[in-house]
Amino acid sequence: MQNPEITRRGLMLVLSSPSGAGKTTISRRILASDDNIDISVSVTTRSPRTGEVDGVDYHFLDRETVEAMIARGELLEHAEVHGNHYGTPKGAVEAALSDGRDILFDIDWQGTQQLSEHARSDLVSVFILPPSGAALESRLRTRAQDSDEVVQRRLAEAGNEISHYAEYDYIIVNQDIDESVARVTAILEGERSRRERQPGLGRFVRHLQDELDRAYAPDRSA
């Protein structure tokens, strides 16, 4: 945990990757081990996969509802991915950030570009690459949650998705899940320590100086 006396500004941690590169597993591990970060639950028009829970994995909505949210300006970003609409509701993100909490986004490169236009200084973006095409295919097939046709489509789009790696701050090749989780954790800790993310620092340092001067340099404190 950061020094509790220093108020901080929440950051927006974006994880993107082609489907099957391990991003969801990494996100879950980070969320389970860190109390200061929440996940942004997206809206989607995609149907739930087995085991997915409405309101937890996504808000599963029909196209009309998502389009109405877009028209009302209720989404921070939105994109069409693999033939479905996906988007980030504004409310939860704004509440978390103003509370000094961090927020994790599992969104694609299009969403990352949109967030970066509005909130560049709060954004920390990480792109996860698979170690090989064969590994990506094998992960997509072994998770066995999508039909052959859907897997095929995702693999066909992976090459285009990874072409956006250079738009990200950090790149992780996910050879080993434990190591990748450790790397994302290290990025999060490093970014939390940035001076500009701790707006209460000036006040804290002035207190510290007063305390030191009073105790050790009384001439200066007089």
Pattern 104-143, ligand 5GP, x by CB under 6 A: --xxx-xx--------------------------------
What distance in Å separates the CA atoms of residue 15 and residue 192, rounded to the nearest whole number?
Answer: 16
What distance in Å separates the CA atoms of residue 11 and residue 191, rounded to the nearest whole number?
Answer: 8
Structure tokens at 38: 């929440």
What distance in Å separates the CA atoms of residue 29 and residue 152, rounded to the nearest whole number?
Answer: 27
Smallest distance, Å, CB 86 to ligand 5GP?
Answer: 3
Handedness of CA 159, 176, 112, 58 (dihedral sign): positive
Alpha helices in 72-200 (DSSP H): 90-98, 109-119, 133-143, 148-162, 177-192
Site for ligand 5GP in 164-193 (CB under 6 A): none
What angle, rounded to 10 degrees, do the helices at 148-162 and 133-143 form? Answer: 140
Identified binder of ligand 5GP from the candidate list 88, 116, 174, 180, rule CB under 6 A:
88
Site for ligand 5GP in 34-73 (CB under 6 A): 42, 46
Identified binder of ligand 5GP from the candidate list 21, 37, 66, 81, rule CB under 6 A:
81
Site for ligand 5GP in 6-25 (CB under 6 A): 16, 19
Residue 28 or 82: the one with the smaller Cβ distance to ligand 5GP is 82
What are the residues binding ligand 5GP (CB under 6 A)?
Answer: 16, 19, 42, 46, 77, 79, 81-82, 86-88, 106-108, 110-111
